[in-house]
């Protein structure tokens, strides 16, 4: 198979983990006799510094022409600490989602037995937790009408039936492939937009009789994720709620550096770790690359290259079991491995497999 991949390393630790992701993908393609080409492009603060645009038109064209995008992270403190900045790195991420029509963000939340002790929750609550958060990406407050003045500001949460139907369809398809349990998260007791979500979900549910559909207010869902994370199989919700809940879900595993994600929709899919750019760690060779590596596994699986994805997942599990880990998840007294060293180890294990 021939694959053309756009690589958007971005900011902070992005270039470091991006290199690991590219190396791992190349190693897997070599092993399975796939032909892969990588085209690198600017985004985020790096793109602002270079051309004044966090998602330049050239980057958009490169993404459009690719089969998939391997993305890393955007963000820089010089923008975070300037509330008057008119252009921000994160605007590039939103622009990419909007221009590529990426309306569905899929974030698996999976625990690793050897790391459950790192979770802030008790082991008996966390062990075995395995669910998927599906977040609508291109609607809601992030893209609704806005006003920002000295004395008044607002963000409009707007959704259409079409937008709700298409994300619910994705959620039901995931539920059918998993344990056939879908939780629709909203705030229908207060918000009109949420009542549309619930109405459309209730209309669609009979088309999926094999799936148990339940409905949960977002505040209750946030609490239930902490009290009983194993309750969930597939969770679907709107943009803002999804942003918050998926970050909460990531903490269950004990490290945001372990969780990948995919954004899919009308055009080129994007695969990325869920963590940010962690600018404080930039250039220190301490960032955990495993979420980036697992994003590569999701990329292969998207193209139905299941064995390739399984190999990556098996090697990642082996790296954790053998304590080939970056500092934030390393066991006490374990060997010191940096981003580069973990990446090289995984590539060598792929070659030997």
Class of residue 280 by CB neighbours under 10 A (exposed 0-12, middle 13-18, buried 19+): exposed
Catalytic residues: 142, 187, 219, 243, 247
Q: What are the structure tokens assigned to 293, written together?
A: 């590596």
* 324 assigned to some structural domain: yes
CA distances from 82 to 62, 76, 85, 88, 161 (A): 30, 11, 6, 10, 37
Kindly state whether residues 119 and 232 are assigned to the same domain: yes
Kindly state whether residues 120 and 250 are assigned to the same domain: yes
Taking only the tens of pLDDT, the chain with its 353 residues reads 999 999 999 999 999 999 999 999 999 999 999 999 999 999 999 999 999 999 999 999 999 999 999 999 999 988 877 667 788 898 998 899 889 999 999 999 988 888 888 888 888 898 889 999 999 998 999 889 999 899 999 999 999 999 999 999 999 999 999 999 999 999 999 999 999 999 999 999 999 999 999 999 999 999 999 999 999 999 999 999 999 998 888 888 877 788 899 999 989 999 999 888 999 999 999 999 999 999 999 999 999 999 999 999 999 999 999 999 999 888 888 899 999 999 999 999 999 98
Q: Give the residue numbers spanning the domain of 304.
A: 1-103+265-353
CA distances from 48 to 11, 75, 142, 143, 286 (A): 11, 11, 21, 21, 26
Q: Number of structural domains, the chain? A: 2
* 154 assigned to some structural domain: no
* 158 assigned to some structural domain: no
Residue 279: helix, strand or coil by DSSP? helix
| CATH of residue 246 | 3.40.718.10
* 27 assigned to some structural domain: yes
- Which residues, 6 or more positions from 250, have their beta carbon under 8 angstroms from its beta carbon? 107, 109, 256, 259, 274, 275
* 36 assigned to some structural domain: yes
């Amino acid at each position: 198979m021939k694959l053309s991949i756009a690589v958007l390393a971005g900011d902070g630790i992005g270039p470091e983990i991006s290199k690991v992701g590219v190396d791992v993908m190349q190693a897997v393609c070599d092993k399975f006799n796939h032909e892969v080409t990588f085209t690198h492009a600017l985004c985020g603060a790096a793109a602002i510094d270079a051309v004044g645009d966090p998602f330049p038109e050239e980057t958009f064209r490169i993404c459009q022409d690719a089969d998939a995008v391997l993305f890393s992270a955007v963000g820089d403190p010089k923008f975070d600490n300037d509330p008057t900045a008119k252009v921000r790195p994160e605007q590039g991420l939103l622009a990419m989602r909007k221009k590529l029509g990426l309306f569905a963000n899929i974030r698996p939340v999976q625990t690793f037995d050897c790391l459950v002790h790192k979770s802030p929750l008790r082991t008996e609550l966390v062990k075995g937790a395995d669910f998927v958060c599906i977040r609508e990406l291109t609607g809601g407050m992030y893209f609704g009408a806005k006003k920002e003045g000295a004395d008044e500001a607002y963000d409009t949460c707007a959704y259409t039936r079409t937008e709700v139907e298409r994300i619910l369809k994705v959620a039901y398809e995931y539920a059918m492939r998993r344990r056939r349990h879908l939780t629709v998260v909203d705030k229908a007791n207060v918000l009109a937009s949420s009542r549309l979500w619930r109405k459309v979900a209730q209309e669609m549910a009979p088309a999926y009789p094999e799936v148990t559909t339940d409905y949960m207010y977002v505040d209750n869902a946030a609490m239930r994720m902490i009290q009983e994370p194993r309750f969930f199989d597939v969770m679907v919700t709107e943009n803002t709620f999804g942003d918050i809940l998926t970050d909460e879900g990531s903490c269950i595993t004990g490290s945001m550096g372990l969780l990948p994600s995919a954004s899919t929709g009308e055009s080129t899919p994007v695969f990325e770790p869920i963590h940010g750019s962690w600018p404080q760690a930039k250039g220190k060779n301490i960032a955990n690359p495993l979420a980036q590596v697992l994003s590569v596994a999701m990329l292969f699986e998207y193209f139905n290259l299941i064995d390739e994805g399984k190999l990556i997942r098996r090697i990642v599990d082996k790296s954790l079991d053998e304590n080939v880990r970056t500092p934030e998840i390393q066991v006490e007294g374990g060997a010191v491995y940096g981003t580069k060293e973990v990446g090289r180890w995984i590539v060598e294990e792929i070659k030997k497999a």
